[in-house]
Amino acid sequence: MKNKRANLKKILLKNNLLLYVIIIVVSAILLLFDQLGFVNHLTSGLFVPLCIYSILAVSLNLTVGILGELSLGHAGFMCIGAFFGAFTSVALVGVIDSGFLRFLIALFVATIATAFFGILIGIPVLRLKGDYLAIVTLAFGEIIKNIANILFVGVDANGIHVASSEKTLQLLEGGRIIIAGPQGISGTKNSFASTFFLGVVLLLITLFVILNLINSRSGRAIMSIRDNRIAAESIGINITKYKLMAFSISAAFAGVAGVLYAHNLSALTAQPKNFGYNMSILILVFVVLGGIGNIKGSIIAAIILTALPEYLRFLQEYRMLIYSIVLIIMMLFNWSPKAKVWKEQHSFKILYHRMINKKKIKEEI
C-alpha cells in the first residue's frame, strides 16, 4: 500500500516536473529567438500578457475546478493586486533606486493585500453556494472596480492620505497624488518588472504552489468538499477553513497577475474592459476551454485564446463571439446526454477495438 502511494507520488512529481521543464525550455527558446531578433514586435509584445493570462487562468481554475465554485469576481482581485502593486511601486520612486527591488516589494505587498481581501471577501461569500455565490462574487468584483474609480490616495511627509475627491485629500506642501480617482495611477511602467523572464518565473511559482496544494492533504480536503460537502463535513474536514484557503490563494495569485499587469502599462485605470465583469468571464473561458480542474489545460487555453486573435486579425472582430460559442459548445459537449452517448461510442478505446476486430475478421476471411 505504502509502496503504491509512493509510486503514485513519483508519477505526479514526474508529470509536474515535465510541465515545468516544458515551460522553461519553451520560454528559453522564445527568449533566445527574441535576443537574436527572430521575433517580430507583435509576438514580443505578447510575451508578458501571455504570462498574465496564464497565471489568471491557473489561479481561477483553483476556485472553479478544484473548489468547485464559480467565481465571477476574479478580475476584481486582479484589480486589487494591480492597484496595491502600482501604488507601492510608484510611492517608492525616489526612496528606492533599484526598479527591480521596487517591483519585488510591490509584488510582496500586493500579494499579501490581495490574499487578505480574498479572506475578507471569502468569509461572507463562501457561506453561499452555486448561483448565489457566483452572483455575489460578480457583485464584489464590480464594487472593487467602482471603488478603485473614486479613490484618491496621496503621499506626503505625514504619510498616506485616502479620500474620495482631490479636494478632501488635504496633502501637505510637497506631497503628491498617486491614485487620482478615475485617472488611476500614472507612471507605472517598470521595464525591470515587465520582462518575459519575470513573467515566466511568476508563472512557475504559481504553478508550483497550486500544483503542490492540489496534491497535498489540504488539496484532497478541498476536492472532497467539491465532490460531496456533507460527506466531507461528516469525516471531520473543516469546510470553512479549506474553502477559504483555496479561495484566498486563488485571489492572491490573481493579485500577482495584477501586479505584473500594472507594471506592463504606462498608466493604470480601472475600466470595465480590464477589471470589469467581462474580464472575469474571459478568464473563465480559458478555464472552461482548458478543462475545468485541468491546470495544464488552463495554460494551453490561455495561450491559444490570447495569441490566436492577435495573429489572425480577421478573427479580432469575432473574438468575443467565438469565446461565447466556446463556452456553450464545451458545456453542451460535456454534459448533454446525447453528447455523452456519442462520446462513449466514439471513444478512442472503442474505435481501437473496432479497428482490431475488423483486422481480425479480415484475417479470418
Partner 1 sequence: MSFLGFLISGLSLGSVYAIMALGYTMVYGIAKMLNFAHGDVIMVGGYVIFTLGNTFGLPPFVSILIAVIICTSLGMLIERVAYKPLRSAPPLAVLITAIGVSYLLQNIALLIFGSNTRIFTSVVDLSTISIANGDLTITGETQVTILACVIIMIALTLFIKRTKPGQAMLAVSEDRGAAELMGVNVNATIALTFAIGSALAAIASALLFSTYTTLTSYSGAMPGIKAFVAAVFGGIGSVPGALLGGLLLGVIENLAKGLISSQVADAIVFGVLILVLLIKPTGILGKKIHEKV
**306, β-bridge pairs:** none
**Which of the residues 177 through 206 are near partner 1 (CB under 8 A)?**
none
Residues 1-40 that bind partner 1 (CB under 8 A): none
Nearer to partner 1, 47 or 286 (CB): 286
For residues 317 and 296, what is the distance between their CA atoms, to the nearest angstrom?
28
Rounded to a whole number of angstroms, the minimum distance from the CB of residue 239 to partner 1 is 13
- Distances 334 to 10, 238, 289, 322 between C-alpha atoms, Å: 30, 31, 11, 18
User: Which amino acid is present at 205?
Assistant: I
Environment class of 290 (CB within 10 Å of its CB; exposed 0-12, middle 13-18, buried 19+): buried
Q: Coil, strand or helix: which one is 53?
A: helix
- Interacting stretch for partner 1, rule CB under 8 A, among 20-28, 211-219, 300-308, 315-323? 315-323
Alpha helix locations (H) across the chain? 2-36, 41-61, 74-91, 99-125, 130-150, 196-214, 217-227, 229-234, 239-263, 272-275, 277-290, 295-311, 319-335, 337-345, 348-364
How many binding residues for partner 1 (CB under 8 A)?
A: 46
- What's the closest the beta carbon of residue 327 comes to partner 1, in angstroms? 3
Residue from 64, 79, 210, 222 that binds partner 1 (CB under 8 A)?
A: 64
Q: In this structure, are residues 205 and 108 in contact, taking their beta carbons and an 8 Å threshold?
A: no
Residue of 43, 149, 186, 212 that binds partner 1 (CB under 8 A): 149
Which of 150, 172, 312, 351 binds partner 1 (CB under 8 A)? It is: 150
Q: Which of 262, 281, 283, 305 binds partner 1 (CB under 8 A)?
A: 281
**According to the binding rule CB under 8 A, does residue 317 interact with partner 1?**
yes
Per CB under 8 A, residues contacting partner 1 are 64, 68, 70, 72, 124, 127-128, 130-132, 134-136, 138-140, 142-143, 146-147, 149-150, 230, 281, 284, 288, 292, 317-318, 320-321, 323-328, 330-332, 334-339
